[in-house]
Amino acid sequence: MFKGRKSFIFLSILLVLMLTLSACGSKKTSGGAKDELIVAQGADPKSLDPHASNDQPSSRVNKQMYSTLVEATEEMELQPGLAESWEQIDDRTWEFKLREGVKFHNGEELKASDVKFTLDRMKDSPEVAHIIGAVESVEVKDDYAVIIKTEEPFAPILSHLAHTAASILNEKAVTEAGDDYQNSPVGTGPYKFVSHDAGDKVTLERFDEYYGDPAKVKTLIFRNVPEGTNRTIGLETGEVDIAYDIEPIDLDKVRDNKKLQLIEEPSLSTSYIGFNTKKAPFDDIRVRKALNYAINVDEIIEVVLENAGTKATGPINDKVFGYNNDLKGYEYDPDKAKDLLAEAGYADGFKTSIWTNDNPVRVRIAEIVQAQLKEVGVDAKIEEVEWGAYLERTAAGEHDMFILGWVTVTGDADYGLYALFHSSQHGGAGNRTFFTDPEVDKLLDKGRTSIDEKERLDAYSKAQEIIVEEAPQLFLYFQTQNAGLQSNIDGFKLHPAGHHKLSNVGFK
């Protein structure tokens, strides 16, 4: 009887899922070709205003609606975007020439004044100002040329201008919408906004006046499907065309299905558990180091990720420019962890909490960490927090420990280190551990202002050594990214930053 009831419940859940997904099933034109692409990801975008959030789900949608001055290809090569060319005038001054005739989704033509408005607005955003924090001024030379000056030399300026948060906005659209702008976003990208059903889906439509090659599919829908298993079921039933972030437990299921294809590649991301260094006992370096020794990261990679990742030796991914190859990280040594805890006055351990959102992988990691911490006397309670609240509350410093990831979108150590470890970036800008170290600040400032590559590498190498020693994070892993696709999907490529371009995607 119990077995039969379980089967009934499973079939009921599956039926509900299929009915829900089919409500947005791929439509066909009168000629029979699909004109709707459905993409499932694990969270709803927090905001469709590029300056209001820097989370991955939002960026993945915004990538389709907006354009940047400079673009980074899947090979992380920089190429013209809205700026058809640029010239470095001196160490601190750059001139960008804009494409002429580029249209915003509201019919307005892109002008240099829009670029100035965008970057000035971006500098005022607590969420993303750090990305162009080095910019001192943006001047309009004429309708199609802007001069960008930095306070000091800033080597990665072009990479930072390729970030999705630096997407160019239309001044008129933002001004008219006011506080409601995220509900009526306007860009110059290949897709334009149609609707956002919060918690469910975002619907976009091909923008026929896009300055580049037109999108291959008319309608693009991002579905919010938090449960990884449900994303895989959506692929299997054909109701989802592309599913981001296939759960480790489902990789073989997708890989072995002849009707599907699985793409796996290295990413620029790192996953970690952050400590709130403003709170006891995490204000004690001995406690932070002890917890790094207490966790068997190799077991997490094997059990949770199905080996789809490598152990992190430090705070940035080994694919990032500036990564320190000499870092050894922390080995699993529970006895050493106990000794350090005793030395810090916690021989009997202490009680704490681990925050996570409802991501199944992170929940499973939290469970393993909870069990391993118990072995060294630390009683950690797991708290699941809704994604939007998770970002807001960790930015406010309400947490003890939290699980999160960071993608070094620009491929440069400045972005991977400055936001997470510079003392000026506490809170929503990225430094949710509230880590503060004057020497690290000095080294990160030097790394971003020097135009000498060797000097930059040296600064970042030393900064990483200090960060690993100070252990504001429990360093976890560098993850392999993936996506599951229907076999008839053509043109899809994974971007190492995780923001995958979809205008080139069509059906075979």
Contacts of 345 by beta carbon, 8 Å cutoff, 6+ apart: none
Contacts of 139 by beta carbon, 8 Å cutoff, 6+ apart: 116, 146, 147, 148, 149
Measured CA to CA, the distance from residue 328 to residue 409 in angstroms comes to: 24
Contacts of 286 by beta carbon, 8 Å cutoff, 6+ apart: 340, 341, 343, 344
What is the predicted pLDDT for the residue at 54?
86
Contacts of 466 by beta carbon, 8 Å cutoff, 6+ apart: 437, 439, 440, 443
pTM value?
A: 0.80
Cα distances (angstroms) measured from residue 481 to each of 180, 268, 493: 34, 9, 12
Averaged pLDDT of the chain: 92
What is the predicted pLDDT for the residue at 27?
55
Measured CA to CA, the distance from residue 238 to residue 242 in angstroms comes to: 10
Q: Is the pLDDT of residue 46 over 70?
A: yes
What is the predicted pLDDT for the residue at 29?
45
What is the predicted pLDDT for the residue at 2?
34
**Strand 260-266 and strand 309-311: pairing?**
unpaired
Measured CA to CA, the distance from residue 230 to residue 354 in angstroms comes to: 25
Crossing angle for the helix pair 413-421 and 438-449, to the nearest 10 degrees: 150
Q: Name residue, tokens 């469910």.
A: 200
pLDDT confidence bin for 1, thresholds 50/70/90: very low
Cα distances (angstroms) measured from residue 16 to each of 39, 88, 223, 234, 253: 19, 57, 15, 12, 21
**Strand 36-41 and strand 242-244: pairing?**
parallel
What is the predicted pLDDT for the residue at 130?
84
Q: For the chain, give the longest Cα–Cα distance.
A: 78
The length of the chain in residues reads: 508
Phi, psi dihedrals of residue 65, rounded to the nearest 5°: -95, -25
Cα distances (angstroms) measured from residue 434 to each of 81, 392, 397, 426: 35, 14, 8, 5
Token pair belonging to 155 = 């080597």
Contacts of 31 by beta carbon, 8 Å cutoff, 6+ apart: none
What is the predicted pLDDT for the residue at 232?
97
Ranking 25-39, 95-109, 208-222 by mean pLDDT, the lowest is 25-39
Question: Average of pLDDT values for 435-449?
Answer: 96
- Element containing residue 483 per DSSP (H, E): strand 473-486
SS3 2: helix
What is the predicted pLDDT for the residue at 387?
85
What is the predicted pLDDT for the residue at 127?
86
Ranking 15-29, 75-89, 199-213, 283-297 by mean pLDDT, the lowest is 15-29
**Strand 351-356 and strand 401-407: pairing?**
parallel
- Domains of the chain from N-terminus onward: 2-62+184-265+481-507 (3.40.190.10), 65-174 (3.90.76.10), 269-480 (3.10.105.10)
Q: Cβ distance 102 to 82 under 8 Å?
A: yes
Q: Cβ distance 193 to 50 under 8 Å?
A: no
pLDDT confidence bin for 388, thresholds 50/70/90: confident
pLDDT confidence bin for 119, thresholds 50/70/90: very high
What is the predicted pLDDT for the residue at 177?
97
Cα distances (angstroms) measured from residue 388 to each of 57, 185, 242, 385, 497: 11, 19, 24, 8, 21
What is the predicted pLDDT for the residue at 84?
98
What is the predicted pLDDT for the residue at 308?
86
Least Cα distance to 114 among 152, 83, 159 occurs for 83
Higher-pLDDT residue of 127, 142: 142
Question: Average of pLDDT values for 306-335?
Answer: 94
Question: Average of pLDDT values for 69-75?
Answer: 94
241 phi-psi bin (left φ>0, alpha ψ -120 to 50, beta other): alpha
Cα distances (angstroms) measured from residue 144 to each of 87, 97, 98: 14, 6, 5
Q: How far is CA 330 from the centre of its chain?
A: 25
Q: Is 431 exposed, middle or buried (0-12, 13-18, 19+ CB in 10 A)?
A: buried
Of all residues in the chain, the percent with pLDDT exceeding 70 is 94
Ranking 245-249, 392-396, 462-466 by mean pLDDT, the lowest is 245-249
Q: Is the dihedral of CA 166, 171, 172, 177 positive or negative?
A: positive
Q: Is the pLDDT of residue 28 over 60?
A: no
What is the predicted pLDDT for the residue at 32?
54
Q: DSSP letter at 23?
A: T
Strand intervals (E) in 81-237: 83-90, 93-98, 135-142, 145-150, 191-197, 201-206, 219-224
For the chain, how big is the Rg over CA atoms in Å?
23
Q: Cβ distance 303 to 368 under 8 Å?
A: yes
Q: Is the peptide bond before 281 cis (omega within 30 degrees of 0)?
A: yes
What is the predicted pLDDT for the residue at 306?
87
Question: Average of pLDDT values for 235-255?
Answer: 95
Q: Is the pLDDT of residue 9 over 70?
A: no
What is the predicted pLDDT for the residue at 11?
45
397 phi-psi bin (left φ>0, alpha ψ -120 to 50, beta other): left
